[in-house]
Amino acid sequence: MPAALDIPYADTRADALSFALGLAPLEALAVRTVERSGHAVELRLLGASHQVIVGAFSETVACLPGHDRLPGRFRGRIRDWSYEFRDETRVHDAAGFRRAVEGLLADLDTRDDALVGVFPGSPHAVTALAVDPADPAAPTGYGWRTWHTYPQTQEVVMTRSLLRDLR
């Protein structure tokens, strides 16, 4: 079930999103914590997108002045973690955009490992996050996906992240 948001939707575009690692927790409109392999995966819905926190690790995708734009693909080692990030932006026609957003909302509606925010003023202005199901082959890994929708440009930004404990 989508989180009820009290903040109005502010027009923006996919290319306004930034990518940052290691930021302190930002003010969140809604938070959901999902337990995976003894760790808390904190999904945070921000006024300008999302933040995910696992222990001392944080990923932030939001409209953040002074930070790098979305990288398309990023791989690195952060302390004792291996981290992978991918993003993709799809532009739809009006009907395809509505179908994409409505399908996303239907897919995530009953999941207890997802956080969905629909901004007032547009039923298709959505930010959603979901923790991937636990992978028995990688018990010390965590994965999540996010979706950011922009009705005015009919864009859907999708991200996928993998975080693996190397210890």
The helix (run of H) or strand (run of E) holding residue 149 is strand 141-150
Indicate the pairing of strand 3-4 with strand 114-118: parallel
pLDDT at 142: 85
Whole-number Å distance between alpha carbons of 51 and 131: 13
At residue 78, does pLDDT exceed 70? Answer: yes
E-strand stretches of 47-93: 49-54, 57-62, 68-69, 73-78, 81-91
Q: Each residue of 81-113: pLDDT tens digit?
A: 899 999 999 999 999 999 999 999 999 999 999
Residues 163/54, Cβ–Cβ less than 8 Å: yes
Considering the entire predicted model, what is its pTM?
0.91
Q: How confident is the model at residue 47 (pLDDT cuts 50, 70, 90)?
A: confident
Instruction: Residue 162: name the closest of 99, 92, 106, 85 by CA.
Output: 85
Query: CB-based contacts of 51: which residues, under 8 Å, 6+ apart?
Result: 23, 25, 26, 28, 44, 58, 59, 60, 61, 62
Coil/strand/helix, residue 19: strand
